[in-house]
Amino acid sequence: DGGITQSPKYLFRKEGQNVTLSCEQNLNHDAMYWYRQDPGQGLRLIYYSQIVNDFQKGDIAEGYSVSREKKESFPLTVTSAQKNPTAFYLCASSMIAVGQLSNYGYTFGSGTRLTVV
């Protein structure tokens, strides 16, 4: 079955450590996204990528980094520069209709809960 797989489901990070969250999709979607979810804040965009080897910062990119070496994969690294990384992280993907109007929504992964210990 096609879908998005996020791993791990739970992740614990010590102060000063970098950690990487995995996101893989087999939907052949062009675009992939990372969102952060905090209580009462909704979903805020961290990074997104519309094509391999290219990505753009979202609204809260500081302290995070990404790569898009393969169409299927969009890992997110939470660096030690992110001062408050404890949150729920959601990865999503979507199709892009070039030159056409598109009503595509997103397909979401099941999320990763990151906790600083």
Partner 1 sequence: AQTVTQSQPEMSVQEAETVTLSCTYDTSESDYYLFWYKQPPSRQMILVIRQEAYKQQNATENRFSVNFQKAAKSFSLKISDSQLGDAAMYFCAYRSAQGGSEKLVFGKGTKLTVNP
Distance CA 37, CA 51 (A): 24
CB-nearer residue toward partner 1: 52 or 88: 88
Interface residues with partner 1 (CB under 8 A) are: 31, 33, 35, 40-45, 48, 50, 58, 88, 90, 92, 94, 96-103, 105-106, 108, 110-111
CB of 99 to partner 1, least distance (A): 6
Between residues 32 and 78, which has the closer beta carbon with respect to partner 1?
Answer: 32
Closest among 21, 9, 4, 27 to 78, alpha carbons compared: 21
Nearer to partner 1, 58 or 63 (CB): 58
Query: Are the CB atoms for 51 and 41 separated by under 8 Å?
Result: no
CB of 34 to partner 1, least distance (A): 12
- Cβ-contact 43, 58 below 8 angstroms: no
Distances (CA, A) of 105 to 29, 32, 94: 12, 12, 7
For β-strands 107-108 and 87-94, DSSP reports them as antiparallel
CB 33, min distance to partner 1, A: 7
Residue whose CB is less far from partner 1, 52 or 80: 52
